[in-house]
Amino acid sequence: MTGGGATGDPDALRILVATDNHLGVHEKDQVRKDDAFITFREIFEIAKREKVDAVFLGGDLFDVNKPSRETMVRTMEILREYCLNDDPVQLEVLSDQAVNFPRCVPGRRQVSRVTRFPGA
């Protein structure tokens, strides 16, 4: 995808944000079981048409904590189709990640720090 899109500015970063997809919702309902997947595919179709540089998925991607195998497979098929391709990634990180994220060591699980408030 070419950066800049409709603005014509090659330095513009175009981001599409989608939230609360709830993939797998109504999985057992024969009429509505495909609705969330149709919408999920539409998100990536819009991203492709608008030549966005990144798609951020916030909120609940899945409807339940442990999605079914069918939901996982369908999700991965869509992600594979739109995200794993030969389009170049034209994003360059200019800052030193070791300086900006000193506690984030690649390959090591991060542990959340709990802070106690006075009187808690």
CATH number for the domain harbouring residue 45: 3.60.21.10
Domain assignment present for 33: yes
Kindly state the average pLDDT of the residues 13-29.
94
Its pTM surpasses 0.75: no
Domain assignment present for 107: no
> How far is the C-alpha of 48 from the C-alpha of 37, rounded, in Å?
17
Domain assignment present for 117: no
Predicted confidence (pLDDT) per residue in 30-83, tens digit: 999 999 999 999 999 999 999 898 899 999 999 999 999 999 999 999 999 998
Residue 117 confidence class, pLDDT cut points 50, 70, 90: very low
φ, ψ for residue 55, nearest 5 deg = -120, 120
Tokens found for residue 80 = 């594979």
Structurally, the chain folds into a number of domains equal to 1
Contacts of 1 (CB under 8 A, 6+ apart): 48, 51, 52, 53, 87, 90
Domain assignment present for 113: no
State the angle between helix axes of 35-49 and 69-83 in degrees (0 to 180), rounded to the nearest 10: 10
Task: Find the domain containing 23 and state its range.
Answer: 5-100
Residue carrying structure tokens 């997809």: 21
Domain assignment present for 109: no
Kindly state the average pLDDT of the residues 101-113.
61
